[in-house]
């Protein structure tokens, strides 16, 4: 996974002593625990939540639910550094799936400026609501222990993302009052040091009858084989209206996916498990260009490079 980008540090052995315990000699080791990241992940189904206009309600539930997971696992994690890190940061990874599903429902083609701009607008809304939910949870339960002096506390988090002016007095968004939220965060804190991350979530999306993560689809219809059993998979809400907005990932110009994720990354405090889908005969120079473009667009991470057989990519069902 490449979506979790949090503080990590080494556990340091500070002292070892020989001691007699219950009549036997023992080596007792004293360690200073380092930061050891825990994946507390869950995702919102955009293909259902956004059309039903329930994002705000769901994001509040999701932030609380993920924070509760940390509390419920207290004393149950065998890796003690992970236990300590959970308590110090209360970090979560709130993600999404169903992006291609949502575009199809709205009649927005993947390789368009409209899709890129909509990505920017939607993920700003998700960021605003998720941060607000964590701030409200801090009012109830308290901010995470290391909040004081953090980018959240100083307001640097909001300035770096160009949400507010450097003096924190004015929002730079016409839709959301980021200056007010930055002030509320400074006053009350946030419950979670890290809040958002986009994981692959293919299995979750399949169960929820949506499309995986922020990726385009593999094919409109295909059979997934597991343990000798073939399971038919059809993209969600496939009908004459959505048909032309589902295009195989292997037939999409990946630079459009980079453009979308460049907008998305600005609003996500961690990373995005972002795949490249390429033909099996791609040139090394073309692959390098994709990675370099992603880096120049300030994407924190990329995930897999996926290629497929020529037989799969020959036919474009959604090309006009």
> What are the tens digits of pLDDT across the range 170-222?
999 989 999 999 999 999 999 999 999 999 998 899 889 999 999 999 999 98
Q: Does residue 223 contact residue 232 with C-beta atoms inside 8 Å?
A: yes
Instruction: Indicate the pLDDT class of residue 315, thresholds 50, 70 and 90.
Output: low
Helix (H) or strand (E) holding 225: strand 221-226
Instruction: Show the tokens assigned to 257.
Output: 């996916």
The confidence score (pLDDT) of residue 230 equals: 86
For the chain, the C-alpha Rg in angstroms (whole number) is 22
Q: How far apart are CA 291 and CA 200, in angstroms?
A: 19
Q: How many CA atoms lie within 13 A of 270 on its CB side?
A: 26
The confidence score (pLDDT) of residue 232 equals: 85
Instruction: Show the tokens assigned to 48.
Output: 């259902």
Please write the tens of the pLDDT for every residue from 219-259. 999 887 877 888 888 999 999 999 999 999 999 999 999 99
């Amino acid at each position: 996974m490449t979506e979790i980008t949090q503080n990590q540090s080494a556990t340091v052995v500070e002292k070892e002593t020989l001691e007699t315990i219950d009549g036997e000699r023992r080596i007792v080791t004293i360690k200073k625990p380092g930061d050891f990241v825990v994946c507390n992940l869950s995702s919102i189904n955009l293909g259902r939540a956004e059309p039903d206009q329930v994002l705000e309600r769901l994001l509040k539930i999701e932030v609380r639910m993920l924070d509760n997971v940390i509390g419920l696992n207290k004393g149950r994690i065998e890796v003690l550094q992970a236990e300590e890190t959970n308590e110090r940061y209360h970090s979560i990874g709130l993600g999404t799936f169903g992006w291609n599903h949502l575009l199809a429902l709205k009649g927005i083609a993947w390789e368009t400026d409209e899709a890129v701009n909509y990505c920017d607008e939607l993920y700003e809304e998700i960021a605003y609501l998720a941060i607000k939910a964590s701030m409200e949870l801090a009012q109830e339960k308290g901010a995470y222990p290391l909040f004081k002096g953090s980018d959240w506390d100083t307001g640097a988090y909001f300035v770096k993302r160009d949400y507010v002016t450097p003096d924190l007095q004015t929002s730079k968004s016409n839709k959301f009052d980021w200056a007010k939220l930055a002030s509320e965060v400074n006053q009350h804190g946030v419950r979670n040091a890290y809040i958002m991350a986009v994981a692959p979530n293919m299995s979750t999306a399949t169960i929820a009858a949506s499309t995986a993560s922020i990726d385009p689809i593999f094919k409109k219809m295909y059979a997934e084989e597991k343990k000798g059993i073939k399971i038919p998979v059809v993209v969600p809400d496939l009908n004459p209206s959505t048909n032309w907005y589902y295009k195989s990932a292997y037939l999409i110009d990946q630079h459009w996916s980079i453009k979308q994720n460049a907008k998305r990354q600005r609003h996500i405090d961690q990373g995005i498990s972002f795949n490249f889908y390429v033909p099996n005969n791609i040139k090394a120079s073309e692959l390098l260009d994709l990675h370099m473009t992603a880096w120049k667009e300030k994407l924190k991470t990329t995930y897999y490079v996926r290629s497929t057989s020529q037989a799969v990519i020959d036919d474009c069902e959604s090309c006009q």
